[in-house]
């Protein structure tokens, strides 16, 4: 039996869809093309006798770089979180409308560091705009934490001390907003948090930190996403 000459997938799709090579690449990169029943996102893939199909719902649209929100578990190194963002850990509650593509799991960069012993919101992105925002402007972006504490009652002036006037690692800390969420949990709205800073601040008023969770970065909240799961951040949402 004779075999067809191998050609680039983008060429085959352009012939099937009667479109330009550039449009064919958009279809492929958008996850709309399958080869022998398996979605392939690489326009340069060589095909010969394989069955190439285009999803009947295919849309011509540019593939945006991905930004995801991940609920980091306690004990996980912030820098290792990209390996935990997989198709299997994609939360069922994702209402972003972003289509899951294999290319979204390549070169995800974790941003806005979080202590190993803390849990909560981590941002990972392929988008240079998001990278610049969360690195160059990081000190100006408010973060929100829930801190579970134990220990003696800090007294009526405890929150005032947390809010302003402390020094950490030789640096005067900027004012922050602190309030009791309940009898054992404090809510911090704070800028430019350094490693170990929240534990140090609480210790200065006699409180021992039991747990720390980051729930918001700028205007983006984690919501009720389960631990070790992730969702997309729509392009329309800004920090």
Q: Give per-residue pLDDT as tens, 39-65.
A: 998 999 999 999 999 999 888 887 889
Q: What is the mean pLDDT of residues 100-122?
A: 96
CATH number at residue 133: 3.30.2350.10
- pTM for this model (two decimals): 0.86
CATH number at residue 43: 3.10.290.10
On whether both 107 and 143 belong to a single domain, the answer is: yes
Reported confidence tier of residue 112, pLDDT bands at 50, 70, 90:
very high
| Domain of 50, in residue numbers | 7-54
On whether both 73 and 146 belong to a single domain, the answer is: yes
CA dist., res. 128 & res. 34, Å (int): 29
Say yes or no to pLDDT of 125 above 70.
Answer: yes
Say yes or no to pLDDT of 18 above 80.
Answer: yes
Residue 59 lies in a domain: no
Residue 237 lies in a domain: no
Strands (E), 44-184: 46-47, 52-54, 67-72, 109-111, 119-125, 142-151, 167-168, 171-172, 177-180
CA dist., res. 16 & res. 6, Å (int): 15
On whether both 151 and 188 belong to a single domain, the answer is: yes
Average pLDDT, the chain: 93
Q: Give per-residue pLDDT as tens, 170-212.
A: 999 999 999 999 999 999 999 999 999 999 999 999 999 999 9
**At how many degrees (to 10) do helices 21-29 and 9-17 cross?**
110
Residue 218 lies in a domain: yes
Most confident of 27-41, 45-59, 118-132: 118-132
**What is the token pair recorded at 143?**
């973060």
On whether both 18 and 129 belong to a single domain, the answer is: no
Query: What's the confidence (pLDDT) of residue 1?
Result: 40
On whether both 47 and 165 belong to a single domain, the answer is: no
């Amino acid at each position: 039996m004779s075999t067809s000459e191998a050609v680039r997938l983008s060429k085959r799709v352009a012939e099937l869809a009667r479109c330009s090579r550039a449009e064919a690449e958009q279809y492929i990169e958008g996850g709309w093309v399958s080869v022998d029943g398996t979605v392939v996102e690489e326009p340069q893939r060589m095909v010969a006798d394989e069955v190439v199909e285009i999803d009947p719902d295919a849309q011509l649209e540019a593939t945006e770089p991905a930004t995801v929100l991940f609920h980091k578990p306690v004990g996980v190194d912030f820098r290792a979180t990209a390996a935990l963002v997989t198709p299997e850990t994609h939360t069922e509650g994702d209402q972003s409308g972003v289509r899951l593509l294999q290319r979204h799991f390549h070169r995800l960069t974790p941003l806005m560091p979080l202590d190993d012993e803390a849990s909560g919101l981590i941002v990972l992105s392929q988008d240079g705009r998001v990278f610049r925002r969360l690195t160059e402007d990081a000190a100006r972006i408010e973060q929100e934490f829930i801190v579970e504490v134990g220990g003696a009652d800090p007294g009526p002036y405890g929150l005032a001390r947390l809010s302003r006037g402390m020094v950490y690692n030789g640096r005067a800390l900027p004012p922050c907003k602190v309030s009791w969420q309940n009898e054992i949990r404090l809510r911090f709205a704070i800028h430019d948090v350094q490693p170990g800073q929240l534990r140090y601040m609480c210790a200065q008023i006699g409180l021992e930190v039991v747990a720390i969770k980051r729930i918001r970065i700028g205007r983006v909240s984690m919501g009720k996403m389960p631990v070790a799961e992730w969702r997309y951040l729509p392009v329309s949402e800004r920090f």
